[in-house]
Amino acid sequence: MDSRPLILLRPVKDLTDHRGGLSVIEKAEALPFRVRRVYWIHGTKPDVARGFHAHHRLRQLCVCLAGSVRILMFDGQHADWVMLTPSSGALDVPPMIWHEMHEFSPDCILAVFADAEYDEADYIRDRDQFIRHVHSS
Ligand code: TYD
């Protein structure tokens, strides 16, 4: 297995001035793929956790636009947590990382930029199957 860091936060430029906030993600350092799909998670009910899957090929960048959410990243061997907020940076979620989203604040808006259209066949939704897959490759 490779030893890439589990938590990679890419830079979000803050152009806030006296008028209010303006944030930018640009350049390959911050957005290292062509975006083919954008979706966002909002109005999450209390005590709801989401995710609980990995993707075979999909790469995503998660940006918390408001509120906060705690995200678990698991590569089949090591797990780590990160708290995303509007000032934390953008979380790079590469393929073959099991991810779970917990503790959404009621005002959380989590935007996700993805490098491909939705494809259910790209999901691994069973954690044991994910672990087997990681250890067999
Ligand atoms: P899912 O990925 O299971 O959500 P989460 O991992 O956040 O719990 O998606 C929920 C439902 O929405 C599921 O039926 C698939 C569908 N969906 C789309 O049709 N298009 C999309 O871009 C996404 C992200 C989900």
Mean of the per-residue pLDDT values of the chain: 96
* Annotated catalytic residue within 18, 42, 53, 55: 53
Confidence of residue 4 (pLDDT cuts 50, 70, 90): confident
- Residue 3, pLDDT score: 64
Whether 77 has a pLDDT exceeding 70, the answer reads: yes
Atom number in ligand 1 closest to CA 120: 15
Q: What is the pLDDT of residue 7?
A: 98
Q: How far apart (Å, rounded) are the C-alpha atoms in residues 111 and 56?
A: 21
> Residue 37 CA: which ligand 1 atom is closest?
22
Residue 103, Cβ neighbours under 10 Å: how many? 15
Give the domains, in start order, of the chain with CATH numbers.
9-136 (2.60.120.10)
C-alpha 133 to ligand 1 mean position (Å): 22
Among protein residues, the one whose CA lies closest to atom 2 of ligand 1: 51
53 is catalytic: yes
Atom 1 (ligand 1): residue with closest C-alpha?
A: 51
The 10 Å CB-count burial string (b at 16+, else e) for 68-99 is: bbebbbbbbeeeeebebebeebbbbbbebbbb
**DSSP one-letter code for 136:** H
The model carries a pTM of: 0.95
